[in-house]
Structure 1
Amino acid sequence: MKRTIFILATLLGIGNVLKTVAQNTKDITLGVSIKSFNINREGKYLTVKMNLDLNKLDVDANRAVLLTPRLVNGTDSLDLPAVGIYGRRRYYYYVRNGIGSISGESETIYRASSKPDSVAYNNLAEYEKWMDGAMLKFHRSDWGCCHEIVAEYEGILGRHREAFFPELIFVQPKAEIMKSRSLSGSAYIDFPVDQTVIYPDYRRNTTELGKIQATIDSVRNDKDVTITSVWLKGFASPESPYKHNTELAIGRTAALKKHIGQLYHFADSIIQTDYEPEDWAGLRRYVEQSNINYRAEILALIDSDMEPDAKEAKIKRTYPNEYRFMLQNFYPALRHTDYRIDYNIRKFNKVEEIKRIMAEQPQKLSLNEFYLVAGKYEPGTDEFTDVFETAVRMFPNDEIANLNAANAAIRRDDFATARRYLNKAGDSAEAVYARGALAIREKDYDTARRYLGKAKEMGLEKATLTLEELDERQK
């Protein structure tokens, strides 16, 4: 059955054909030669470009010649917009009878007396699958009186063969039962020596307390968010007796809990506390990253199983200069409070709402919500790609996010980006298949067969079908 598809646009222009392409000239039908013919897939469209040499085309006064490129593949066909050249009598016949043109509004019309020697033909047709392997024919029909065809000629311009583009498998992530997120940081709150009372204006406290408040406010004022806990953990430096540091860490963390509770009136169960009397792990990081003398020896003491007070005393006694340096440069940073704000984000079900959130606050979305909105765009479009690029930016270590972003990159032939994402996509059957699909697009067919074969062994049916198609195309 003959099918009709929408023609997006037809662009025709008059111009002189350059002599440098004369060797590409092909006498296609009586009186017409074709130069610089090209048929190519460009995204969702099939483009047909050529120069029609009409220099030898003679049209009688009572005749009209219709030149029509025609795509044919089995029972499917599509007539592209035609070029009509009308003899004087035929031209006025159609004008008087209100016909305008033989083939319709898309036709480009010339009177025989003023036809150009060449016509630059450039047409975009919306691509359909049947066009893969279609023959492009060039049809000439001569029309006489009474709107009848008196002669027909046809030549073959060439065949359109698609590059093999295997079907890609985008994996839908599991929907989160609860979208739980957290924000964390460290604050360096100063206390007077041996005290556990917070003075907001003391030293850097205005800034450091402000960091915690800003983090809480960033989610507390959001109608889509519910805070589930505020976790605080206080640390002290190891220069005092361990027992005393324990008391300071507990007391100072309790003071911060009270301060936050007074600011926000959270339920007592929301604010949770913990403490570390002496931050030896933090001290180790600072020493390891420094160029301090006797670094290896000091690290060995830090890693030893000595009691904290004995450990600190030995470092102080054995390496007094280095100890003073650490006391002045490392210890202040060990007196800190780590904090984490845990919260839940409501689910978004409406596509338009998800689009808005993705543009404004993509961190609120789950991977499944990104997937849902991607399904509303055509694969290969900028919008489709942007969804998966944003998703992987929000979830940079998630295997499914990386797999889908890799597929989107393969879809637009961005092979370097696809490889980068596939490195973090894991080894699922779908990820192995995607590596095979990438190899096909890069025309590395041996590698493609290896990956597709492995995906087939893993039970992925699509891998079997793609292997069969690859074999068929390479016969």
Structure 2
Amino acid sequence: MKRKNIYTLIIAATTLFVAFGTTTAQVNYLDQVSVENQTVSKKAGTTNIGMDVNLNNLKLNKNDMLIITPVIVSGQNEVELEPIAVKGTLRNKVLERPFEWKGKTHLAMPAENQLVRRNGTNQSLNYNATLPYADWQRDAQLLLRTEVVGCADCSEAQPDKLISQKILPDKFIPDYRMPYIVPEVEEVKARSETFSAHLNYIVGRHDLLPNFQNNAAELAKVDKIVQELKKDPDLTITDFTISGYASPEDTKERNLLLSQRRAESFARYMENKYGYTRNQFKVEWFGEDWNGLRKAVVASNLINKDAIVDIIDNVPDFDARDARLIALDNGQTYNRLLHDFYPPLRRNDYNIAFISRPFNVEEAKEIIKTRPKLLSLNEMYLVAKTYPEDSPQYKKAFDIACKTFPDAEVACINAAVGELREDNVDDALQHLQKCPDSPAAMNLMGVVYAKKGDTARAKQFFDKAIQAGNADARHNAEQLQQYMDDNM
């Protein structure tokens, strides 16, 4: 009877050894596991991880269980994903037993993440997991972390295995197309400059007296300007436009006639002085210069300037305006206007038109520094192209072009391109608002609002530019969409 009990104990111990034998963790099972078809993507604020875990070469002890945990890690940030359980055949049978014992392993992962290893057969597990996206994941690695369970109350970790050095690409940076426009060649560079001559006349008269009051000094200024233009080998004077203006005292009709006669008198002086023919002069007159008065008053420190501006803006009859100004504060304001503000309004403006000769690039590089108006937009463009595109000189050439020709569409667009390339979006916007109907400007407006973070308006402008036939806008719309997808 005693011998029988001894045999029973031996058999029981053998059964327990088989069921809960010691681990064979000396073997690094991860060396026998490989990952295929790995995908990591970001969409709508979620990072999606997919892979096939290939177990074909895994020789798992039948009593072992391999817990594989994918880990996303970057610096101090770490997230363990849903683990995988690969069970040896005997370990699987033990875990399936219905009764409990101390240290029994309970697997919480879903059934699709569990697999019984049949050594010598081809097996793989398709793994998928998701986690909320965070910016640190752009620099994160994907590791496999394992634990080998070989008995009911013991476990042993094995070294992590690097699967991917960088799971996600860097943030998408749009590469917007915003090319400079090549200006057309200007065959004839017709230019003009306007100057003012504040000449004095005897009250009610229009005869130009060179020695009356300050006329000699004013005519000396005129002579200096005309002579410099005449002697300039780079240009040829073609014609003059003489404009006459009067101050508001006296009646509207008499002031209009006075401004006409004084303009004609100044034109005759220019004709006789410099030997130009009469058909080279155009004479025009405008009478009382209320616009000039308004600008001067607005810029002044007059206490009641708002009342003066209100009279100018809301009293349509010129003579009635003058009467209302006289009535202000018993004539004190009017006397100030009469002595300080009216004299500069009595003037002749003269516009000198000329043709500038063509310049080669080396000449233009010097001319642009001092007399850019003599150049064409095309010549300025060629000057810019002599410098590296990222140089200050390159951008400055386009800035000068826009300042010189502020109403030229191509100048405004090229200046906007320069500002956008330096991320000066508000400055670019100011240039583009001057040419809202240009398809190229619409495309650049899309870039402006994209850089401002207003993707809805950016898309609207790109769509308008596409409809208007701008070739770069389609590319930019695609770049914007890719940026939006990457930042959802």
TM-score normalised over the length of structure 1: 0.54
Task: Tell me how far apart the structure 2 counterparts of residues 301 and 413 of structure 1 sit (CA, whole Å).
Answer: 41
**Structure 1, 286-295 or 253-262: larger mean CA deviation:** 286-295
Partner of 2:405: 395
Deviations 1:247-296 (Å, cap 9, x if unpaired)? 65454334323332333111222233233455565556667775459946
**Residue aligned with 2:284, SS:** strand
C-alpha deviation, 1:351, in angstroms: 2.7
**Residue aligned with 1:426, SS:** coil
Amino acid at match of 2:399: E
Task: Tell me how far apart the structure 1 counterparts of residues 461 and 291 of structure 2 sit (CA, whole Å).
Answer: 45
- Change in Cα spacing, 1:394 to 1:157, as seen in structure 2 (3 Å) is farther
Does structure 1 residue 165 correspond to structure 2 residue 167? no
C-alpha deviation, 1:237, in angstroms: 4.1
Deviations 1:454-475 (Å, cap 9, x if unpaired)? 3223322322233345556756
- Change in Cα spacing, 1:378 to 1:425, as seen in structure 2 (3 Å) is farther
Task: Tell me how far apart the structure 2 counterparts of residues 448 and 315 of structure 1 sit (CA, whole Å).
Answer: 51
Partner of 2:468: 458
Kindly tell me the number of residue pairs found equivalent between the two proteins: 317
Partner of 2:352: 341
C-alpha deviation, 1:177, in angstroms: 4.6
**Residue aligned with 2:414, SS:** helix
Partner of 2:84: none
Partner of 1:426: 436
Task: Tell me how far apart the structure 2 counterparts of residues 179 and 216 of structure 1 sit (CA, whole Å).
Answer: 19
Matches within 5 A, 1:164-243: 164-237=174-247, 239-240=249-250
Does structure 1 residue 437 correspond to structure 2 residue 447? yes
C-alpha deviation, 1:208, in angstroms: 1.8
Partner of 2:311: 299
C-alpha deviation, 1:443, in angstroms: 6.6
Structure 1 unaligned spans of 5+: 1-155
- Whose Rg is larger? 2
C-alpha deviation, 1:339, in angstroms: 1.9
Match of 1:356 among 366, 375, 380: 366
Task: Tell me how far apart the structure 1 counterparts of residues 197 and 273 of structure 2 sit (CA, whole Å).
Answer: 17
Matches within 5 A, 1:49-448: 163-237=173-247, 239-240=249-250, 248-276=258-286, 278-279=288-289, 282=292, 290-291=302-303, 295=307, 299=311, 303-305=315-317, 321-322=331-332, 323-348=334-359, 350-439=360-449, 448=458
Task: Tell me how far apart the structure 2 counterparts of residues 443 and 299 of structure 1 sit (CA, whole Å).
Answer: 46
Q: Is the 8 A contact 1:245 1:277 kept in 2?
A: yes
C-alpha deviation, 1:183, in angstroms: 1.6
RMSD of the alignment, in Å? 4.1
Q: Is the 8 A contact 2:297 2:309 kept in 1?
A: no
C-alpha deviation, 1:404, in angstroms: 1.2
Deviations 1:430-473 (Å, cap 9, x if unpaired)? 22222333455567655544433332233223222333455567
- Change in Cα spacing, 1:295 to 1:180, as seen in structure 2 (3 Å) is same
Q: Is the 8 A contact 2:198 2:344 kept in 1?
A: yes
Amino acid at match of 1:215: I
Task: Tell me how far apart the structure 2 counterparts of residues 277 and 244 of structure 1 sit (CA, whole Å).
Answer: 8
**Residue aligned with 1:269, SS:** helix
Higher helix share: 2
Task: Tell me how far apart the structure 1 counterparts of residues 423 and 345 of structure 2 sit (CA, whole Å).
Answer: 50
- Change in Cα spacing, 1:296 to 1:392, as seen in structure 2 (3 Å) is closer
**Residue aligned with 1:183, SS:** strand
TM-score normalised over the length of structure 2: 0.53
Task: Tell me how far apart the structure 2 counterparts of residues 215 and 260 of structure 1 sit (CA, whole Å).
Answer: 12
C-alpha deviation, 1:184, in angstroms: 1.6
Task: Tell me how far apart the structure 2 counterparts of residues 360 and 297 of structure 1 sit (CA, whole Å).
Answer: 38
**Structure 1, 372-381 or 391-400: larger mean CA deviation:** 372-381
**Residue aligned with 2:183, SS:** coil
- Change in Cα spacing, 1:441 to 1:203, as seen in structure 2 (3 Å) is same
Partner of 2:96: none
Q: Is the 8 A contact 1:212 1:339 kept in 2?
A: no
- Change in Cα spacing, 1:205 to 1:164, as seen in structure 2 (3 Å) is same
Deviations 1:125-175 (Å, cap 9, x if unpaired)? xxxxxxxxxxxxxxxxxxxxxxxxxxxxxxx99899784322322223344
Q: Is the 8 A contact 1:400 1:425 kept in 2?
A: no
Q: Is the 8 A contact 1:183 1:215 kept in 2?
A: no
- Change in Cα spacing, 1:251 to 1:406, as seen in structure 2 (3 Å) is closer
- Change in Cα spacing, 1:433 to 1:291, as seen in structure 2 (3 Å) is same
- Change in Cα spacing, 1:449 to 1:246, as seen in structure 2 (3 Å) is closer
Partner of 1:467: 477
Task: Tell me how far apart the structure 1 counterparts of residues 253 and 459 of structure 2 sit (CA, whole Å).
Answer: 66
Task: Tell me how far apart the structure 2 counterparts of residues 390 and 325 of structure 1 sit (CA, whole Å).
Answer: 40
